[in-house]
Amino acid sequence: MKTNTPNLFGLSVAELQDVCEGAGLPRFRGEQLFYWLHNRGVETFDECMNLPKTLRAELATSFRIAHPEAVTEQHSTDGTRKFLLRLEDGRNIETVLIPSESEEAGQPKRLTICVSTQVGCPLDCRFCATASMKLKRNLTPGEIFGQYLAVQKRSASRVTNLVFMGMGEPMLNYENVMAAAELLTHEKTAAIAASHITLSTAGLADGIRRMADEGRKIKLAISLHATTDELRLRLMPINKKYPLAEIIDAAEYYHRLTRRRITWEYILFDGLNDGVDDVRRLAKLTRRVPSKVNIIPFHPIGAAYPDGMPMQLLSPPRAHIEEFAQRLRDVHVTVMLRSSSGRDIDAACGQLAVREGAREGQTRRTRAPHSDKHSEKHSDKRGDIPTADAAGKEASTPSGLDRHNPHP
C-alpha cells in the first residue's frame, strides 16, 4: 500500500465531496465513498461495487484506505474481549468489548465498546496503566472510528453502546473525538445512536462547557474518584488545574444548557476514598445536578509499573464495595455498581499496550540498539513524539492542542 497518498478513511461526507471535486469528480461520488468506507468498511476501492471500474482504479492510484489492524485479542471468562490494534505508524492502542451482565433471550442486553482517543496519555493518573506510557500523539477520527469498525467485524452480535473511556483524555483531542462521534452517528453509517455514546473525562472543565455550548448530543461522564481536593490531587494531578469546585461549576453549566443527566465515575480504593465521610461528601457533590454514580472496583495494574506503582492502591473487599453503594442509595443517590470486567486478562486501561510495548522494546534493544536510538531521535525531530514538557503543556492547555494530528 502506498503510504504517501491521502487516506480517505475517517473523512466526513463534506470532506470526501471536496476530495472528489478536487480530483475532477462529481461531488455525489463523495457520498458514495462515505457509505462504502464507513458503513461497509471496505479495505480496497475494488470493493466499491457501484463505482465504475476505471474510477476504482484511478482512486487506488491517488488515494488509500487504511484502518487500525487488530493484532492481538484476549478473551475473558466473563465474555469481555480486549483487542490490541496497530496503527499505520506502528504504534499500539487498545479497545475493549464488554457484554452487560443482564441478559435478554440468553444474550447480553448491551454490548459496549470502550475506545481509545490518544496513544498514551499525559494526565498521569496514579491508578491508570496508560499513564506509564506518557503521551505519544492524538488519534485521528479514522483511527477512533476504526476501532469500532474492527471490533464490530469480529463480533457476531451488534455493538450497542460506545464509551470514549480507553487510552487518553478525550477532551485533549476534542476535535477528532467529536469528528469520530459524527461518523458513528451519521445516518449512512448506521453505527451507534448519540444517546448510546458517552464521553468520559478526567474533569477538564473547559471541554465540558464546550460540549454544552455546542449542544453535543452524546452523554457525559466525569471521573471523580475522590471527594476532597487533597486526595484527588494525589490520585489525579490534573486536579491542580481543575479542582472539584471548578468541575462542579462546569457540571452545573452543562446541565443548565443541555438538561442531561451526568454520570460520576468513582473507583473505590481500600482505605482511601471508601469511608462514611466519603459517602456523605459524595452524596452532597452529586446532588448539585441530576446525576448517577458509577461505583467501579479497582483493577490492579502493577504489571504496568515493574519498578513499583506511584501509589500503593488496593481494591476493597466486595462486601465493603456493596456496603458503600448501599449507603449512597440510603441517602437517595442513584448508584450503578459496575463489575470489574476482564480481571483474568489485561482489561484495565493501557495494560495490554504497555505489556506489548515493553516486549517490543526489549526485542528492539536486543536486535538493533543503535538503530533504535537513531529512530527515536528522528521521531522527535518530526514532532511525532511530544517531549515530557510538551505533554505536560498539553495537559494544562487543552484549547491549544492540534486537533487534527495526521500521520507524518
Please identify every residue annotated as catalytic. Answer: 94, 349
CA atoms of 190 and 188, how far apart (whole Å): 6
**Rounded distance, CA 369 to CA 351, Å?**
25
Contacts of 70 (CB under 8 A, 6+ apart): 83, 84, 85, 150, 151, 154
- The C-alpha cell 452543562 sits at 254
Beta strands in 91-240 (DSSP E): 92-99, 103-104, 107-108, 111-115, 118-119, 137-138, 161-164, 197-201, 219-223
Nearest to 207, CA basis, from 10, 395, 405:
395
Give the span between the Cα atoms of 224 and 267, in whole angstroms.
Answer: 8
Quick one: DSSP state of residue 210?
H
Segment (H or E) for 83: strand 81-86
What's the DSSP call for residue 25?
Answer: -
Interatomic CA distance for residues 338 and 294, integer angstroms:
7
Judge whether 297 and 339 are in contact, CB under 8 Å. Answer: yes
d(CA 365, CA 381): 21
Q: CA distances (Å), 132 to each of 301, 355, 357, in order?
A: 10, 11, 11
DSSP class of residue 399? G
